Amino acid sequence: MTAVTANDVSLSWYEASARQRIDALVDAGSFSEFIGPELREISPHLSIFDLPEQFDDGIVIGRGRLDGAPVLVAAQEGRFMGGAFGEVHGAKLTGLLRAARALKQDLVILFDTGGVRLQEANAGELAIAEIMRAVIEARREGVNVVGLIGGRAGCYGGGSLIAGTCSKLIISEQGRLSVSGPEVIETNKGIEEFDSRDRALVWRTMGGKHRYLIGGADTFVDDEALAFREAAITALKVGTRCDVTVLEAEQARLERRLQRFGEAEDAVEIWQALGIDDPTDVPALPTGAFLRAATNRENADDAR
């Protein structure tokens, strides 16, 4: 039971802005922002390219309560520069993660990103490395870092690497999680390898259902803010470890997974191998039926 409900109105996570997502995620009225837009910490690079800046540099960070428990929150705004990581954007998340470690407070990251901002690539790449280190250091202190993926920009590039270091990932059908984006693959490998305009192909390769089925995400939820909230509350209650045993187990699982599915040409073949009765129907299944069909999915257990 949830004592405090944040928002009883249906809100599509996919549609919502970063700020709307935070409002709907945490207990009503509990959020206070760090380094808010009034401080105008803008990107030092974008003006060189004559590009518009945003006063929060596309990420909202702060502290709130989730089902009464204190939590730190970071939300990327996918509608600004595709939620991409730049210098300030990255530094805000790094700082928040370091605070999480120091305060021993759990942290939730609302991913919505295409990866590193090309206009500030060096700073952005450095930020990704710093953030991954900060995630691991926080987790080593027993802090949970939960990732929520269901925004319009998906979770690509450096964002997907960070997601890989989180303790739990929650994803919706609309959410996409992949290192290289569809257009990047098509540009480098040709349309025969990947047709980025075939959206059904994009989603069955990178979308939430597939990621959940192959153990790339831990919880599958509807595209509803309330569903993300409930899942985040649950995920934070389960403590996860982060040590050599866990990482070695995950390494072994990934090797097995590669052996098992490495030859598959399409996600549908993988779903078939997972024993799903009507694998071609997977994209059309509503959440309940999908979760029932997914009982034999690959499971990352605690390995993340």
Partner 1 sequence: MSDWGMQKAALGERLAAGRQHARGKVVPIPSLPAFLKAVIRSGDRVCLEGDNQKQADILATALANLDARDVHDLHMVQSGVVLPSHLHIFEKGIARRLDFSYSGPQSARIARMLFGGKIELGAVHTYLELFARYFIDLTPNVALIAAVSADKDGNLYTGPNTEDTPTVVEATSYKNGLVVAQVTEIVDKVPRVDIPGDLVHFVVEAGRPFYVEPLFTRDPAAITETQILTAMLAIKGIYAPYGVRRLNHGIGFNTAAIELLLPTYGEKLGLKGKVCTHFALNPHPTMIPAIESGWVEQIHCFGSEVGMEDYVAARSDIFFTGPDGSLRSNRAFCQTAGLYACDMFIGSTLQIDLEGHSSTVTTSRIAGFGGAPNMGSDPRGRRHPSEPWLKAGAEADPDSSAALRRGRKLVVQIGETFGDSNVPLFVEQLDALELARKLDLDLAPVMVYSDDVTHIVTEEGIANLLMCRSKEEREQAIRGVAGYTDIGRARDAKLVEQLRQRGVIRRPEDLGIDPLDADRRLLAARSIKDLMLASGGLYRPPSRFRNW
What CA–CA distance (Å, rounded) separates 109 from 75?
6
Choices 137-145, 157-165, 197-205, 242-250; region in contact with partner 1 by CB under 8 A? 197-205
| 12 makes contact with partner 1 (CB under 8 A) | yes
Q: How many CB atoms lie within 10 A of CB 276?
A: 21
Instruction: Work out which of 40, 199, 241, 256 binds partner 1, going by CB under 8 A.
Output: 199
Name the helix (H) or strand (E) containing 185.
helix 182-189
Which stretches does DSSP call E strand in the chain? 32-34, 59-66, 69-76, 107-111, 145-149, 155-156, 168-172, 177-178, 219-221
Nearest to 211 by CA among 132, 135, 154: 154
Instruction: Work out which of 198, 250, 281, 302 binds partner 1, going by CB under 8 A.
Output: 198
Instruction: Work out which of 27, 173, 186, 224 binds partner 1, going by CB under 8 A.
Output: 173
Q: Which of residues 200-239 bind partner 1 (CB under 8 A)?
A: 200-203, 207, 209
Minimum distance from residue 79 beta carbon to partner 1 (Å): 11
CA geometry: angle 89, 97, 85, nearest 5 deg: 20
| 180 makes contact with partner 1 (CB under 8 A) | no
| 283 makes contact with partner 1 (CB under 8 A) | yes
Minimum distance from residue 302 beta carbon to partner 1 (Å): 29
Instruction: Work out which of 197, 237, 241, 256 binds partner 1, going by CB under 8 A.
Output: 197
Nearest to 219 by CA among 209, 199, 10: 209
Assign 3-class secondary structure to 27-49: CCCCCEEECCHHHCCCCCCHHHH
Minimum distance from residue 235 beta carbon to partner 1 (Å): 23
Minimum distance from residue 207 beta carbon to partner 1 (Å): 7
Q: Which residues bind partner 1 (CB under 8 A)?
A: 11-12, 14-15, 173-174, 197-203, 207, 209, 283-284
